[in-house]
Structure 1
Amino acid sequence: MRKPQALVLTIFSLIFSSCEKDPPLNEPGSNETINEWTMAQMRQYYYWNEKITQKNDYQQAPDLFFKSLLFKDDHYSSILQTLNSDTYGNTLTNTFGFDMVQLQNQSETIQLVTQVVPFSEGDLMGLKRGDSISHINNEPTDHSNLKSLLSKSLLLPTMHLTRNDGKIFHLPSSYISQPVLYTAKLISSSPTVGYMFLSQFDFSGAYPLLEAVQNFKSQQVQELIIDLRYNPGGQVAFASFCALLLADIKENDIFAKYQGNKNIKNREDSFATALQGQPDGYSFSAKDVLKQGLHLKRIYMLTGSNTASAAEMLINGLKPYIDIIQVGDKTFGKDMASTTIVTPEDIRGSERAWHLIPMIYKIYNKVGQGDYSDGIAPSKVTDEFAFLPLVPIGDSRDPLIQEVLQTINVKNILAKGAVTTIEPTPTLKPKYIGSSYQEMPIVVNKPIKSEN
């Protein structure tokens, strides 16, 4: 049964298509009818509705008309037309099981693998995080063509990667289900420090995460590192699940406040309310999750420019309750929630439905902290690309993990010579981030209108 006002995280990859024949003006399905309806919805719900200027060209294609209404600083609102609602969206991670980054300075450009999905074909063939790639589909990569080569690869049945040592990886195109929890382990015994890497927020990782937390409890973990540096978000309900399982909070504590325009009611959700948005097939209660939790008063969060959306909500939402020590780089900066409004049949006629996805809320925590559209800045800035080669995920030699361990003063990890394979490198800045780093939108149900 669908729960009212429940938060859900969705990702649309619906394909645009033009109409075979335009219906007459003012008839259902005509551009004019759809655009007039679109204007009404945007004036009612859009966060920047007061920035909308009067439009006269209602005969434009609906997608162009919608985009003409958007505020100049709005980089997230979108409009899509139904064609294949089962399409999930192709990324390197869910198609070929890896992702990469291009780093560049004045003298060199390198392409590094940043993630390899466990048990994917690439993983089984020996592709590793930190591998340097020289060719894609037999074409040499450089500063100008990487994005194009990767985009073309997503349309092919097989992708050929050439590593710098000459080894070629033939990666078949297939749907790859990325595990939520890559690894969970102890990285220090004195004090006891646990580490877990979360690739995204999805309830497919609920039971592995529960098992990991139970193991940490049995080992009396004193400090915890949560690695979110490549986490683009996902289900807000799962972010709440993580919070309840890890932090010292109460089920009715406020997780997020949502502030919209003057036409719609503001709202706030507790951790328990947010958890109610879990998908069908799951029935976790906040009270039961808390009973199994770690109740930590301090958590170390590893972040980067790809930490986005619900992952940022977790960091911001926990700040009023526990000590969040953020290490790494500034986050992506997705501090807004959208809704999906679908053209009704009397508007679209026999045409395929249009899905308006406007931004309608700014997101804040219990004490009003938010407005992080430029990203959430870490308390301890550490550039993972300043020390190469990249080590495996969860390796204690990782510069972000090292920064945490130094903060905790873990003497057995920081013994002399512990980081001999990691060397400072000339300044290399990410020029191109791989296709998997796409923030997953926070979507709420259509809001309730304010009473005048």
Structure 2
Amino acid sequence: MKKLKLFLFVSISLSILMSCQEDIDDSITNVNELADQNAIKDFIWKGLNIFYVYKSDSPDLADNRFETTPEYVDFLSSIDSPVDFFYSLLAEQDRFSFIVTDFVTLEQNLQGISLSNGMKFGLVRFTNTETVFGYVRYIVPGSPADVAGIERGVIFNRIDGVTFTPTTDFNLLLSQPSYTIGLAEFQGDNLVALDQEISLNKIQLTENPILEHNVLDVDGQKVGYLMYNNFRSNFNSELNSVFANFSAEGITDLVLDLRYNSGGSIETAKDLSSMITGQFSGEVFARQIYNENFEPTELVFDNQISTDEPINSLNLSRVYVLTTTSSASASELVINALNPYINVIQIGTNTAGKFEGSVTLYDSPDFGREDVSLEHTYAIQPLILKIANKEGFTGFFDGLEPDIQQREIFSQLGVLGDPQETLLNVALREISPGFERPAFQEKQSISPGVLIGESQMNAPAFQRMYIDLNAVPSRK
């Protein structure tokens, strides 16, 4: 985790040279270094002191920590770097709060905009071996990876000639604006390198989180399938349109594919859950629990999205959700919040175990985006709440356990949305027990190996669940 935090800091620092600095002062490229460092740390301390959900577990954030102003100033000066200062204040159990040196890059990432080649992949180590490989999960349409002809299921075991091992510095390899992957394939139980390489360049991409949606005929039943890869509020209208189509088609069941969805907007998670149901409008969706400065709040099932469009609801009494260890935060919220109301059949592997929500805090009088300081470009994204379902269930550090265990088979990933794809096929056989099972599943029911990384792991929004500052209740 420390290595990932370091890479996040370094990569976003480098992006300052290419982004918002020109808007502040074309002649200054080291604005953060020239700024008053203690003033930045003062903003950090005050933001955490007010909002941080684990404030009570961080003694240096206590209201009575400093008796005099000089003592507080000495404390601010005790650590030079604002980044190091921020992380020194976090509680031990906090795996997800972070700081950025360029808040414009963070804002873009939360909207699905990033520098990317469009190849979304996982990194796997075979159990009890030194063999490490990457497998392509999906490709962003229209991206450089798409143009290069890369497809889901492609296996690679090296970047720029560096063969993967358990000690490979993936942060270094993946941070480059361009790189070349070396392909490999499974031959029996062995991974064999191929004499084929593909070069990829990163460009600024906007990824639509709705990757795939269709209606399947399953033994005469209409089943909706939705591959949804992030909870991004700027795509809520498109998501609502997908459910309008599902409703018009008269689907009787829904398979919601969240296997690679690392989270996003709490509001969008609520809207998606309201689209799946609809019969619980006004009832408690989830409870948000803050630190001692704020009263807990309740979220309720809604009948409108953020644009005031009526929600297209399916009124389902059950839903099938596909998960992996990459399913995090807002993905887990949908499962947890729906569980008390309808039958949620979870298929796959345990989720990530992320039940806290965060908010972006800026250096401004009210910590909002308006009137932000022009002296620097730091922002912090601290955890400010824990979220529980209406029955109070939260704290699932080990993730949510599936009802039906099924791993992806790396040598036979299949096509997303195809009824023969491993995880989807399991769901369809639950819906219709006589539905055809893929032949290769008879031979290999699980895949060896453990996930050690993925393409999004260094993105600012990775495994984040967040709310808008305006949604935070007034301080006591």
Q: Offset at 1:376?
A: 1.5
Letter in 1 for 2:199: H
Match of 2:119 in 1: 98
Question: Which digits, 9 at most, give the CA deviation of each residue in 1:83-125, with x for residues without a partner?
Answer: 7557745999951111222322234433221222233332343
Match of 1:58 in 2: 76
Determine if the alignment matches structure 1 residue 152 to structure 2 residue 173: yes
Q: How does 1:176-195 map to 2 (within 5 A)?
A: 176-187=205-216, 188-195=218-225
User: Paired residue for 1:368, among 388, 392, 413?
Assistant: 392
Quick one: structure 1 residues 185 and 45, their matched pair in 2 at CA, closer, same or farther if it must change by over 3 Å?
A: closer
User: Paired residue for 1:335, among 338, 355, 366?
Assistant: 355
Question: Which digits, 9 at most, give the CA deviation of each residue in 1:67-90, with x for residues without a partner?
Answer: 222111111222334475577459
Q: Distance in 2 between matches of 1:94 and 1:346?
A: 31
Match of 1:123 in 2: 146
User: Paired residue for 1:313, among 333, 351, 358?
Assistant: 333
SS of the residue corresponding to residue 391 of structure 2 reads coil
Determine if the alignment matches structure 1 residue 396 to structure 2 residue 419: yes
Q: Distance in 1 between matches of 2:45 and 2:145?
A: 47
User: Paired residue for 2:49, among 32, 43, 66?
Assistant: 43
Determine if the alignment matches structure 1 residue 109 to structure 2 residue 132: yes
SS of the residue corresponding to residue 301 of structure 1 reads strand
SS of the residue corresponding to residue 110 of structure 1 reads strand
Contact 1:95 1:154 in 2 (8 A): no
Contact 1:301 1:324 in 2 (8 A): yes
Q: Offset at 1:213?
A: 2.9
Contact 2:267 2:467 in 1 (8 A): no
Determine if the alignment matches structure 1 residue 136 to structure 2 residue 159: yes
Quick one: structure 1 residues 284 and 94, their matched pair in 2 at CA, closer, same or farther if it must change by over 3 Å?
A: farther
SS of the residue corresponding to residue 330 of structure 1 reads coil
Q: TM-score, normalised by structure 1?
A: 0.80
Quick one: structure 1 residues 92 and 422, their matched pair in 2 at CA, closer, same or farther if it must change by over 3 Å?
A: farther
Q: Distance in 1 between matches of 2:373 and 2:220?
A: 67
Question: Which digits, 9 at most, give the CA deviation of each residue in 1:188-246, with x for residues without a partner?
Answer: 24333221111112245445434433443343321110000001122223222322222
SS of the residue corresponding to residue 294 of structure 1 reads coil
Q: How does 1:384-423 map to 2 (within 5 A)?
A: 384-385=408-409, 388-414=411-437, 418-420=438-440, 423=443
SS of the residue corresponding to residue 213 of structure 1 reads helix
Q: How does 1:211-250 map to 2 (within 5 A)?
A: 211-250=241-280
Letter in 2 for 1:343: D
Contact 1:112 1:131 in 2 (8 A): yes
Contact 1:201 1:238 in 2 (8 A): yes
Q: Offset at 1:254?
A: 1.9
Determine if the alignment matches structure 1 residue 268 to structure 2 residue 272: no
**Count of residues paired in the alignment:** 417
Q: Distance in 2 between matches of 1:374 and 1:322?
A: 23
User: Paired residue for 2:466, among 411, 418, 442?
Assistant: 442
Moved more, 299-308 or 168-177: 168-177
Determine if the alignment matches structure 1 residue 254 to structure 2 residue 289: no
Contact 1:201 1:239 in 2 (8 A): yes
Q: TM-score, normalised by structure 2?
A: 0.77
Moved more, 353-362 or 89-98: 89-98
Moved more, 431-440 or 89-98: 89-98
Q: Distance in 1 between matches of 2:208 and 2:336?
A: 24
Q: Distance in 1 between matches of 2:127 and 2:113?
A: 25
Match of 2:90 in 1: 70
Q: Distance in 1 between matches of 2:263 and 2:366?
A: 35
Q: Offset at 1:328?
A: 0.7
Structure 1 unmatched runs, 5+: 1-10, 23-28
Quick one: structure 1 residues 412 and 34, their matched pair in 2 at CA, closer, same or farther if it must change by over 3 Å?
A: closer
Q: Distance in 2 between matches of 1:131 and 1:295?
A: 38
Quick one: structure 1 residues 352 and 207, their matched pair in 2 at CA, closer, same or farther if it must change by over 3 Å?
A: closer
Match of 1:3 in 2: none
Match of 1:382 in 2: 406
Contact 1:309 1:439 in 2 (8 A): yes
Letter in 2 for 1:95: S
Moved more, 428-437 or 201-210: 201-210
Letter in 1 for 2:156: I
Question: Which digits, 9 at most, give the CA deviation of each residue in 1:380-418, with x for residues without a partner?
Answer: 121114x6321111222222223222322342434xxx3
Match of 2:321 in 1: 301
Contact 2:349 2:406 in 1 (8 A): yes
Quick one: structure 1 residues 262 and 193, their matched pair in 2 at CA, closer, same or farther if it must change by over 3 Å?
A: same
Letter in 2 for 1:106: N
Question: Which digits, 9 at most, give the CA deviation of each residue in 1:32-57, with x for residues without a partner?
Answer: x5545544443333222222224763
Q: Offset at 1:327?
A: 0.7
Question: Which digits, 9 at most, give the CA deviation of each residue in 1:317-365, with x for residues without a partner?
Answer: 2222211111111111221122333334799987325433322211012
More helix, by proportion: 2
Letter in 2 for 1:181: I
Q: Distance in 2 between matches of 1:128 and 1:422?
A: 25
Match of 2:379 in 1: 355
Q: Distance in 1 between matches of 2:430 and 2:418?
A: 17
Q: Distance in 2 between matches of 1:21 and 1:58?
A: 17
Letter in 2 for 1:341: L
Quick one: structure 1 residues 47 and 204, their matched pair in 2 at CA, closer, same or farther if it must change by over 3 Å?
A: closer
Match of 2:190 in 1: none
Q: Distance in 1 between matches of 2:403 and 2:284?
A: 24
Q: Distance in 2 between matches of 1:406 and 1:229?
A: 18
Question: Which digits, 9 at most, give the CA deviation of each residue in 1:132-156, with x for residues without a partner?
Answer: 11332233333332614xx434322
SS of the residue corresponding to residue 335 of structure 2 reads helix
